[in-house]
Amino acid sequence: MKRLFLFLTVAAAVCCAACSDDPEVAESNLSLLEDNVTFDMFGGRSVLEITADSPWTVSCDDDWCRTNVAEGSHTKKIVLTVDQSFLPEERTTAVRFYAAGEEKHTVTVTQEKFEPILVLAENGADITVYGAGSEPALNLRASVAWKIEGATDWCAVSQSEGTKSSVVKLLLTDDGEGVRPRSATLTVSSEMEGVEPQQVTVVQRSTGANTVVVRAGETRAFPARRTDGAYVKGVAADWVWTTDAELLSGLDYDASRNEITCTAAKSKQGSGLVALFDAGGAVVWSWLVWVVDKMPSDVTVGGIAWQDRNVGAEYHSTDPKACVQDFRSYGLFYQWGRKEPFIGAKILSKNKYYEGHAEYPDAFGAMTREVVFNASRTAGWQVSGEEMTAATANGNPTTFYTRSSAAMSEGWTEGGKGLNDPCPVGYRVPTAAEWQSLLAYVDGNAAKNQDSGDTYSRWYALNSGGTLIGPSTMFRKGDNGRIHYPGRSAAYCSSTLAGGKPLPMYDWKAGDATGEGTYYERKMTTAYGMRCVKE
């Protein structure tokens, strides 16, 4: 009996020892940073990050709230999605996380009550497009049923009605000979009481411009088109003059596509006049092809975006001294109301060529830069005392007229893109008021004269660090075409007429922009430099 008792005692002790060696079951750990998540009535998505050391599951109390997974293991990010609410009161639900059969964490989800909303991000604005090359969109935030009215045959929409927020694409075409710019007003509305309609105006401008900017080495096809949208018809395209014999090549006219194609030489900058001719060899229309190594950029002052260089400039530098000493930075001259430019000077002497000193050379004589002419298309620069009309100016792009007709006042449009506007696509001739705004900034912000010895220039540094340089372009006198004040005075075109006379900007002085200054003239035939502003 004693032996039996001893045996049972030992067995019990061994059993207890064995039981004490079993590992303890570790408690599962699961945590989230969020305890509460709030959504507006539109719902949406939110990312939750779970930190866990064991498998887990997740569930939502209501079907308007759901997760992208139902289970997982260890640390993981999950996406919580909430539907749009149409309830008149706030609603809540719970997202529950479980591990090892126990609820470890609860996230309370709250969604705001429904309110009728119809908001167009572009409400009250104009959307400007050029042709049909872009696909702009309307950004609509809505909690109500809506519809869009006002679409046209050239301005359609990808979605004309809906019940929720949407991005609606504008489907544009540029067919037909209709006048540009043209506009379509789109109205987004709802039948729900108290919801204000939203409107946006789409303005389609012509892809045609009288100056085409081409990067050196680029082959470019541009529309044979005027600024009013009308296509120009002819039989052949050819060059009239260029600043370099090798600047342009591969000229071709595709009548079926209404396109002119040309290739700009590599490592060259300059300008060339390209024209479309009829069967008899007469000019139908002409375009300046402006070849640059770097596309012009904008410098914004007082909300007005100015191109950083003159039209036709072959050289541009942010160093004022380097820029103003190089006549290639001065660009081309334009008579008021014309699109056909005239070449500038190759001599910059602020002290030699002005009243009381050396005689001014002939209009296109020793002071004028050499260009290459296409002898089969033009006899070169001419000065004519005949009256300049729209037809004679267009048909004789190398003739400088010393008398102008009243009809030329329609060539440019103050504050708009006129038929003969010489600026590239998206830009126009500045108004006198815009020059005044710029000059007021110049006078009030310590603008500097850059006197290099032979030239003057007005320039200023913007608060953003940018620099706008205004070379002393001089001008071609209206009664004889001679260049005056090379390197001494600046004169720039404006699109403003007062009393039938142009109001140019003269010598970077606000006071002289509207006065009858001694050293400049307000004639329609006087040719000034051109600096463009963004439309």
**Contact (CB, 8 A) for 412 and 429:** yes
**Is 239 a residue whose pLDDT tops 60?**
yes
Top-confidence residue, 290 or 510: 290
What was the pLDDT predicted at 1? Answer: 47
pLDDT classification of 87: cutoffs 50, 70, 90: very high
**Is 15 a residue whose pLDDT tops 50?**
no
Structural element, H or E, at residue 460: strand 457-461
What was the pLDDT predicted at 483? Answer: 87
The Cα–Cα gap between 190 and 119 comes to 11
pLDDT > 90 fraction of the chain, expressed in percent and rounded: 70
**Is 154 a residue whose pLDDT tops 50?**
yes
Question: What is the pTM for the complete model shown?
Answer: 0.79
User: Do the domains at 30-111 and 118-205 have one common CATH topology?
Assistant: yes
Query: What is the mean pLDDT of the segment spanning 137-145?
Result: 97
Helix (H, G, I), strand (E, B) or coil at 444: helix
What was the pLDDT predicted at 320? Answer: 67
The Cα–Cα gap between 506 and 472 comes to 9
The beta-carbon contacts of 99-104 under 8 Å, at least 24 apart in sequence, are 99/28, 99/29, 99/30, 99/52, 99/54, 99/55, 99/56, 99/57, 100/27, 100/28, 100/54, 102/28, 104/28, 104/30, 104/31, 104/56
Q: Where are the beta strands (DSSP E) in 243-365?
A: 248-254, 259-264, 270-277, 283-292, 298-301, 304-307, 333-335
What was the pLDDT predicted at 429? Answer: 98
Number of other CB atoms surrounding residue 358 within 10 Å: 10
Query: What is the mean pLDDT of the segment spanning 9-20?
Result: 47
**Is 316 a residue whose pLDDT tops 90?**
no
Domain 30-111 part of CATH 3.30.930.10 = no
**Is 368 a residue whose pLDDT tops 80?**
yes
Sequence length of the chain is 535
How far CA 381 is from CA of 43, 343, 362, 370, in Å, comes to: 70, 9, 11, 11
472 bridge partner residues: none
**Is 205 a residue whose pLDDT tops 60?**
yes
Residue ranges covered by each domain of the chain: 30-111, 118-205, 297-534
Query: What is the mean pLDDT of the segment spanning 374-384?
Result: 98
**Is 281 a residue whose pLDDT tops 50?**
yes
Query: What is the mean pLDDT of the segment spanning 279-289?
Result: 99
Least confident of 58-67, 76-85, 349-358, 411-420: 349-358
**Is 57 a residue whose pLDDT tops 50?**
yes
Top-confidence residue, 101 or 9: 101
DSSP 315: -
> Do β-strands 55-60 and 91-99 pair in parallel, antiparallel, or remain unpaired?
antiparallel
Query: What is the mean pLDDT of the segment spanning 272-282?
Result: 99
**Is 3 a residue whose pLDDT tops 70?**
no
**Contact (CB, 8 A) for 152 and 201:** no
**Is 504 a residue whose pLDDT tops 90?**
no
What was the pLDDT predicted at 421? Answer: 99
Q: What is the pLDDT of residues 516-533, one digit of tens each?
A: 444 456 899 999 999 999
**Is 219 a residue whose pLDDT tops 90?**
yes
What was the pLDDT predicted at 366? Answer: 84
What was the pLDDT predicted at 458? Answer: 53
**Is 134 a residue whose pLDDT tops 90?**
no
**Is 178 a residue whose pLDDT tops 80?**
no
Query: What is the mean pLDDT of the segment spanning 68-89?
Result: 95
What was the pLDDT predicted at 412? Answer: 98
Domain 118-205 part of CATH 2.60.40.10 = yes
Top-confidence residue, 9 or 299: 299
What was the pLDDT predicted at 16? Answer: 45
Task: Collect all residues with Cβ–Cβ distance below 8 Å to 121 and sequence separation of at least 6.
Answer: 138, 139, 140, 141
Query: What is the mean pLDDT of the segment spanning 490-497?
Result: 90
**Is 83 a residue whose pLDDT tops 70?**
yes
Number of other CB atoms surrounding residue 135 within 10 Å: 11
Q: What is the pLDDT of residues 427-482, one digit of tens each?
A: 999 999 998 888 777 666 555 555 555 555 555 545 454 677 777 777 899 999 99
Q: What is the pLDDT of residues 330-365, one digit of tens each?
A: 899 999 999 999 999 887 665 555 444 556 778 998
User: What mean pLDDT, rounded, does the chain reach?
Assistant: 87
pLDDT classification of 99: cutoffs 50, 70, 90: very high
**Is 22 a residue whose pLDDT tops 60?**
no
Q: What is the pLDDT of residues 396-421, one digit of tens each?
A: 999 999 999 999 999 999 999 999 99
What was the pLDDT predicted at 2? Answer: 46
Query: What is the mean pLDDT of the segment spanning 100-116?
Result: 96
